[in-house]
């Protein structure tokens, strides 16, 4: 049976670049890959999967809240790759589980684990629950050399935990941060009963 994989990492950890490298490897072996992403991700163009390094390829399918996967079509492919998987609905993740389980096509999802408030995205939560294999695409903190685990949001250059959870942006808005630098930049108390509380 094929597997459902979730490869997560903080912003700037080259998740999309990893996806594109896997797609290239399959293509070099004359194997067919099917690439999809959420339709709301329009940062680098509606129809393309693009890394911050500038590499890109067309998306074969854009996933919306009501999307149904073309199961019969996917059986002709050797692998399914999904970018920005944190923005998927639980239903889409469950369909991807079906692709791997019933149709025996490996599915590799790349995305963020948590939002800038350190809470799991719905798509990431369901992937954590359903994936056969979960691995981290690592990167270092923007401010020091420790491993980044959180995504620090900036508004006008200032760190914040306010604003909409889905707020697309790149380096001008989000930076990878270790737990210490994240708390320091936000001047936060870690109060698990109330969530993040700014001092």
Tokens in use for 65? 């809240």
Q: 68 with 110, same domain?
A: yes
In this prediction, residue 20 carries a pLDDT of 94
Find the DSSP H helices in the chain: 15-28, 71-74, 90-101, 122-130, 179-186
CATH number at residue 103: 3.40.50.300
Last residue of a domain, one of 86, 104, 136: 136
Which residues, given as ranges, of the chain have pLDDT below 70?
A: 42-45, 53, 166-172, 189-199
Q: 130 with 154, same domain?
A: no
In this prediction, residue 67 carries a pLDDT of 87
In this prediction, residue 169 carries a pLDDT of 53
In this prediction, residue 28 carries a pLDDT of 96
Q: 112 with 169, same domain?
A: no
In this prediction, residue 193 carries a pLDDT of 45
| Structural domain range at position 59 | 4-136
In-domain check, residue 128 = yes
Q: 94 with 15, same domain?
A: yes
* Catalytic site positions: 84
Q: Total structural domains in the chain?
A: 2
- The Cα–Cα gap between 153 and 23 comes to 30
In-domain check, residue 182 = yes
The distance of Cα 69 from the centroid of its chain, to the nearest Å, equals 19
Q: 161 with 71, same domain?
A: no
In-domain check, residue 87 = yes
Question: Do the Cβ atoms of 161 and 115 come closer than 8 Å?
Answer: no
In this prediction, residue 47 carries a pLDDT of 81
Q: 115 with 157, same domain?
A: no
Q: What is the CA radius of gyration of the chain?
A: 17
* CA distances to 70, 85, 90, 97, 162 from 8, in Å: 25, 9, 16, 17, 23
What pTM did the predictor assign? Answer: 0.89
Question: From the CB of residue 119, how many other CB atoms can be counted at a distance below 10 Å?
Answer: 14
- The Cα–Cα gap between 167 and 153 comes to 10
pLDDT in tens, 118-160: 999 999 999 999 999 999 999 999 999 999 999 999 888 888 8
Q: 14 with 101, same domain?
A: yes
């Amino acid at each position: 049976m094929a597997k459902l994989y979730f490869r997560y990492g903080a912003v700037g950890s080259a998740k999309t670049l990893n996806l594109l490298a896997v797609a290239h490897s399959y293509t070099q072996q004359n194997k067919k890959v099917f690439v999809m992403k959420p339709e709301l991700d329009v940062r680098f163009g509606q129809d393309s999967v693009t890394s911050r390094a500038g590499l890109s390829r067309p998306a074969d399918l854009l996933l919306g809240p009501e999307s149904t996967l073309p199961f019969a079509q996917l059986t002709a492919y050797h692998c399914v790759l999904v970018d920005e998987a944190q923005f998927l609905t639980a239903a889409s993740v469950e369909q991807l589980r079906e692709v791997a389980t019933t149709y025996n096509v490996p599915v590799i999802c790349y995305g963020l684990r948590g939002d800038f408030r350190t809470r799991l995205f719905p798509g990431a939560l369901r992937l954590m629950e359903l994936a056969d294999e979960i691995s981290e695409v690592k990167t270092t903190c923007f401010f020091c050399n420790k491993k980044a685990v959180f995504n620090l949001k900036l508004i006008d250059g200032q760190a914040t935990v306010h604003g909409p959870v889905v707020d697309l942006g790149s380096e001008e808005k989000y930076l990878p941060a270790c737990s210490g630098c994240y708390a320091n930049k936000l001047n936060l108390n870690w109060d698990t009963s109330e969530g993040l509380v700014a001092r």
